[in-house]
Structure 1
Amino acid sequence: MALSERQLAAYADKHAGRIPFDTSPRHLAGPGDARHVTHGLAAAGWSAVSDPLSAEIVLHSPDLRHRLQFDPQSTTSAWWRLRAEPTDTEPGWYAEFGELVPAEVLAGFTDALVVPPPQQPDPWHPVTAAGWHRDSDGTARSPDSMCHIELRPLSEFRDLPSWHVETREPGHGEFHGPRIWHAYFDEHTPAHLVESFLTALADRSPLQRGMYDRTGHYSAVQKPSALRPQQVVDAHTTRIDSLRARARSTRRQQTKPATAPAPANLGPAQPTARR
């Protein structure tokens, strides 16, 4: 499913007439526009396989290995689910995200599915670099202590841990308040994808929201943005164009035929001996 000009125009129509407000911190900014996620994947060649008249959206990657489901009518706390099927060389994995996960943060995760992974990722680095407090027991928390990250073993009998991210209302002492949103990455989720999510989450730059957009919590700070509405639209279009170009480049590299090795240099040919 190629992303159409009509779909981009619909996004532009919605945002061009809205005054953007810089909203921070990111974990309290609210869900935003889900098209940050779906437009990026569609531009990278993902196909919609769900009923177009349904509120549910299901997208498949070009190789059919990855499946993203967005279900705003879900009876569980997970509105977004992403599954990867196992291959001959890699295990399958699963990740899920709650209703109020900012779409731009989730897009950091899904965009990383489009580009080749970096070398030796460290998911903790973007968090500590942004000034989050990291504890010695495999946990970290945001400066306002409302967002928590935990690398948690599945059980005492299994070594591979899974990632748990939660944003909660302030509690009292050791007791946390009600959960606002969560993200979960199972033990086989590639580290570079977790790092991309945490990089987008811990980014200090604000997210843009409309005047009456839903935020994750009343303590989110909002102020009129220096960006004009058209600049918000242009930034979305630029990102989509970049993802489309990188996806095409990656596919060309994957389908490029292997070059046969040059024959070894055996030196000058020797004359045939006479009988």
Structure 2
Amino acid sequence: MPMSRRQRAEYEKTHLWRVPYDTSPRYLAGPGDARHVTHGLAATGWTRTSDPLNPHMVLTSPDLTRRLEFTPEPGHLSSWWKLTSLPTDTDPYWWIDLGQLVPVEILGSLTDALLGAPPAGQPDPWQSVPSAGWSREAENKVLSADGMCTIELRNRRYLPAPDDAPAWHIETHENSFDGHPGRRIWHASFHENTPAHLVNAFVAALTDTTPLVRGMYDSAAHHTAAKTQSRLTSERVVAAHNTRLDALRAQARTVRRQQRPTTTQPPAPPEAPAPARC
């Protein structure tokens, strides 16, 4: 279903008065506006299946196989976002679990990839990590230049973990003086069955050096994040949001048309021979 005018107007009311600031690195920019994710899903037919009066939100896909839970509660610090895919005849069960301060643009890159048609071949998420600025800590672990973000592919053969242990794990954390990661800022854990193109979309958005746009007085960004006034105007920020929603809606329509089974009329039965005349 398309976004309503009222929903778009509420988003505009929030952002038109803000002075946009470019904030980097991306993983320290703060969460941003959750509607970047929820509006994108709603524009492609996802519906709210939870109590509208409860801040806990559940959005469900049109085919009922996928759901996104958003739990913005102070006592729920370990995980504010959870994306789940139910098993089908062709796809296994998987989930993605994300912390409170994950930037919504990075999560949105993943949900955008989920809404499109899956690629013919699954990519290698490591290829999305740019070589400049990130260092390899181990064979399956890289570290950002400031030491505050790690991307790790965990090998279950060496970890005593339950059956549904995540394979990919990303964590942004404070630096400490003893060489070990400090307090965790946010995390993203991926179940081992998560399609690689979704992990790839998330990692590519995470390591992108393009700043994220935040409001001038947005205090959710980390104190070490760099902020400079953006060349974008607030009007262009709102226009970009609406353009993205329209593009996602058109993409979803195309995918549904491609997935729609083709029906053919069965051949007409042969005509019965005319009865012989005496």
Q: Same fold (TM over 0.5)?
A: yes
Which secondary structure state, in structure 2, belongs to the residue aligned with residue 143 of structure 1? coil
Q: Contact between 2:166 and 2:189, CA under 8 Å: does it hold in 1?
A: no
Which secondary structure state, in structure 2, belongs to the residue aligned with residue 150 of structure 1? strand
**Distance in 2 separating the partners of 1:137 and 1:216:** 31
Q: Give the CA RMSD over aligned residues.
A: 2.0
Runs of 5+ consecutive residues of structure 1 not aligned to the other structure:
261-275
Question: For residues 109-130 of structure 1, what are the alpha-carbon distances to aligned partners after superposition, in whole Å with 9 as ceiling and x for unaligned?
Answer: 1111100123331111111356
Alignment-derived partner of residue 141 in structure 2: 139
Deviation at 1:52, TM superposition (A): 1.1
1:205 equivalenced with 2:210 (yes/no): yes
| 2:156 counterpart letter in structure 1 | L
1:226 equivalenced with 2:231 (yes/no): yes
Q: Contact between 2:49 and 2:58, CA under 8 Å: does it hold in 1?
A: yes
1:192 equivalenced with 2:188 (yes/no): no
**Structure 1 residues 34, 130: CA separation in 2 closer, same or farther (over 3 Å shift)?**
farther
Q: Give the TM-score normalised by the residue count of structure 2.
A: 0.88
Which secondary structure state, in structure 1, belongs to the residue aligned with residue 37 of structure 2? helix
Question: For residues 143-198 of structure 1, what are the alpha-carbon distances to aligned partners after superposition, in whole Å with 9 as ceiling and x for unaligned?
Answer: 21100011002344899960110001111243211110000001111100000011
Q: Contact between 1:151 and 1:163, CA under 8 Å: does it hold in 2?
A: yes
Deviation at 1:219, TM superposition (A): 0.3
Alignment-derived partner of residue 47 in structure 1: 47
Alignment-derived partner of residue 166 in structure 1: 171
**Distance in 2 separating the partners of 1:184 and 1:102:** 15
Alignment-derived partner of residue 252 in structure 1: 257
**Distance in 2 separating the partners of 1:78 and 1:214:** 20
Runs of 5+ consecutive residues of structure 2 not aligned to the other structure:
266-278
Choose from 123, 127, 130 the match for 1:121: 123
**Structure 1 residues 161, 181: CA separation in 2 closer, same or farther (over 3 Å shift)?**
closer
Q: Contact between 1:27 and 1:216, CA under 8 Å: does it hold in 2?
A: no
**% identity of equivalent residues:** 53
Where do 1:32-71 residues align within 5 Å?
32-71=32-71
Q: Contact between 1:153 and 1:161, CA under 8 Å: does it hold in 2?
A: no
| 2:172 counterpart letter in structure 1 | T
**Distance in 2 separating the partners of 1:57 and 1:24:** 29
| 1:96 counterpart letter in structure 2 | D
**Structure 1 residues 244, 215: CA separation in 2 closer, same or farther (over 3 Å shift)?**
same
Greater alpha carbon shift after TM alignment, 134-143 vs 36-45: 134-143
| 2:94 counterpart letter in structure 1 | W
Which secondary structure state, in structure 2, belongs to the residue aligned with residue 140 of structure 1? strand
Q: Contact between 2:78 and 2:100, CA under 8 Å: does it hold in 1?
A: yes
| 1:88 counterpart letter in structure 2 | D
Q: Contact between 1:130 and 1:203, CA under 8 Å: does it hold in 2?
A: no
Q: Give the TM-score normalised by the residue count of structure 1.
A: 0.89
